[in-house]
Structure 1
């Protein structure tokens, strides 16, 4: 196999345009599309969830069963995302369900078995479809068993000789921890002795299985790659990431500027560019429209937006203690999101207390997310940890200055005016403490009130930052070639 044009199987549990719950889906669509645009043969494998739109109209390209016990029957339908061929692996017992991972906030009790099967089938189908990739790119815990099975199950199989693997870590807090008994669909786990995956005598983690057996591991930002080698930043897997540190790199996720661009965004009330007059007028129009939509007073006060899941990861616990104090000023705050009940209850109470200054919309609303990005002056991301983060990148594209904590991809993408005024694109604080967030928000408000010309210059600089997937894809190609040059773990 030559390496001028790489054949890659990208394996993920979701992909935007077919089915989505979070940022992994954005990457699973954008990165393969960008690699194809660079001349590579990249194909995507995802579970054939019954609620994928158009699934049952797609042609069946394979009907088979696993070659290994328990010989589970499955079939593969071929779809497309742009120029990317998509293999949707159907198995009614695992994927004919209302949701992907959970119902009513309860994870499916057989998730370990479901994604162990998906990992096994993603490999099992390759010779049957006559597609031999140079490299398989797995993503997060759901597909952590792909590198493991490639190494263990197919070590002596001639068809799989020379195929290398890469594992992306999008969020290491989710590890896929299951008992050996929950993974009995894999004969390799019947011995109840799999040191590459074990976290105790009775349990394994699918993420660890991938980390310990993939040829290369990639975190979704350079800073997150460093954080993964620490006990705190790795969420308990620091030792494993330290062992693999020579093969661990960080590549910043890209931004899909076709979806997030105020110049041609069809979801926002007014389009605008980074030209000073267009920017000022466009954001003013979008702010007024957002105020009217949310029944806020149409005043030219600084507006702070936040769109996120209500979880500790997103730093809501740093915001709620100081939000009432901040709302004593001439400001407006809009938060859109769903998640933990206690956090939602706190935000509703503050919203009731300040109806003319704070709106909490407990919903997942993509259009409203675009309105917030365009209408707000500042975007809040005080995350406890953030492997990459995309909203700070979207915000900069819209001239909405991000207020972030100095972690993960936030640290890699946002420059603070105090540290680097000439290259400032937002506001950054370090310590995970509510008062440090409040001080940073007040800094931004003071500049908004006293130096609007400087704010405009920073907005223009932020809009001119380029975090395109084309650049990220070039780095992934370099990573793939370094994986192929590596002495295979499978010999």
Structure 2
């Protein structure tokens, strides 16, 4: 089977969140049995230089190149450059629209840039004659509308990674979609008086998936549907929740070259102590005691991630012995607060602004607990990384976190500590339980059990195979 994925992110080239990691690890698994291609933008600042093959492909279909419109001119002067990574063929969209960018998001004219990218991904699927076209999030959603309207539609799948970001734009900005080479009737994509790219993907794809069963359920009602729950309910029979997996080669404490000391299920305690000691030296906190709990937090500082809830719980539970290491960036006020805590309470709190892949691995390896106070979480990957590193996750009971972390007296063993979202008291009590567990003999049992969990892509890949077959059957 020939599969083309279209995405704005792909690790290690462009990474802003979990989408990059998810797609990189899924395609690596798929490439063991299928021909797998990935289309993504080419920007100036990438995490790695691609291994170019020297092959190029057009970004415009010959049948759509007969006019001299601005859009056609842009696409005619754009192209795909082929590269390879771990058995996957990568097609980087080389265009003036993206090439000068240092980051993939947060720029003006995103509605136009990603519409051009979506068309080019659709064109590439036709040129490569793939069996499945799989688009990810709103940035590539218009490619599904083009696919549906094509004289030769390719079976399509749309994965919703985060419904909070929908790519909705005023209609006066999207008039070009009615012209060559799009020729789209955009009225079905109307939502709250705007052209909604996410809605276009939901309505147009043969099959829809999201990244956990729990998030699928949540998005079928408001507020987690972010206004589109009615649309997803209309497509509910074509809407699946497939839990993400992780790259067990990239995130493996026995093989990880980024951490200070590798370790396994057998010597995890020694390994964690050494990694904690070295991490404290690296961040300038060598005086911190290594025999008290270290809690790691990594993530974008956005409303979704629930950091205000954490701050309130932290202040309410100052008597606890926990130390905290936070890695992230985003909301400026939250960054200022974290810098303040890092400066005024150096014995308790450390904040690194930005994202650092190596430091993320070191935090996972050194931490005793990993905190995810999300208000909603489509899947989450760090709780699964934490399991692999013997780091006990403390998570809110939402989305994929609810699917992967369990705490109950009815279970033979727990896989973490769970609290109610947006509830500082519930989180505070979870931090109390973390202290008790750290000091208990039960901790060793929990750590060994979670390190034995299998979050690889093997099972999830089979679930995607089933969705692909459904899309193919509908296209016959």
User: TM-score category by the smaller chain?
Assistant: over 0.9
Judge which range, 172-181 or 458-467, deviates more: 172-181
Q: Does 1:176 align with 2:167?
A: yes
Assess if the C-alpha contact under 8 Å between 2:52 and 2:81 holds in 1.
no
Q: Does 1:110 align with 2:115?
A: no
* Equivalent of residue 143 in structure 2, options 141, 146, 156: 146
* Equivalent of residue 96 in structure 1, options 99, 104, 120: 99
Partner in structure 2 of residue 125 of structure 1: 124
Matches within 5 A, 1:153-302: 154=150, 157=151, 160-161=152-153, 163-187=154-178, 194-201=186-193, 203-275=194-266, 278-294=267-283, 295=285, 296-302=287-293
Partner in structure 1 of residue 5 of structure 2: 10
Assess if the C-alpha contact under 8 Å between 1:395 and 1:401 holds in 2.
yes
SS in structure 2 of the partner of residue 136 of structure 1: strand
**Equivalent-residue separation in structure 2 for 1:255 and 1:261 (angstroms):** 10
TM-score normalised to structure 1 length = 0.89
SS in structure 1 of the partner of residue 191 of structure 2: coil
Q: Does 1:36 align with 2:35?
A: no
Matches within 5 A, 1:45-64: 45-52=39-46, 53-54=48-49, 58-63=53-58
SS in structure 1 of the partner of residue 176 of structure 2: coil
C-alpha deviation, 1:194, in angstroms: 2.1
Gaps of 5+ in 2: none
**Equivalent-residue separation in structure 2 for 1:429 and 1:58 (angstroms):** 49
* Equivalent of residue 412 in structure 2, options 415, 422, 426: 422
Distance 1:299 1:63, change over 3 A: closer
Assess if the C-alpha contact under 8 Å between 1:180 and 1:192 holds in 2.
no
Partner in structure 2 of residue 3 of structure 1: none
C-alpha deviation, 1:430, in angstroms: 2.1
Q: Does 1:468 align with 2:472?
A: no
State the superposition RMSD in angstroms: 2.1
Gaps of 5+ in 1: 1-5
Q: Does 1:433 align with 2:423?
A: yes
Assess if the C-alpha contact under 8 Å between 1:211 and 1:241 holds in 2.
yes
Partner in structure 1 of residue 15 of structure 2: 20
SS in structure 1 of the partner of residue 4 of structure 2: strand
| Residues 272-314 of structure 1: per-residue CA shift (max 9 Å, x gap) | 1111xx1111111112222232314234111111111111211
| Residues 397-419 of structure 1: per-residue CA shift (max 9 Å, x gap) | 11100000111110010111x34
Assess if the C-alpha contact under 8 Å between 1:48 and 1:55 holds in 2.
no
C-alpha deviation, 1:42, in angstroms: 1.7
| Residues 448-476 of structure 1: per-residue CA shift (max 9 Å, x gap) | 22x1x201100111101101022211111
TM-score normalised to structure 2 length = 0.92
Matches within 5 A, 1:370-389: 370-389=361-380
Distance 1:368 1:48, change over 3 A: closer
SS in structure 1 of the partner of residue 395 of structure 2: strand
Assess if the C-alpha contact under 8 Å between 2:178 and 2:185 holds in 1.
no
SS in structure 2 of the partner of residue 99 of structure 1: coil
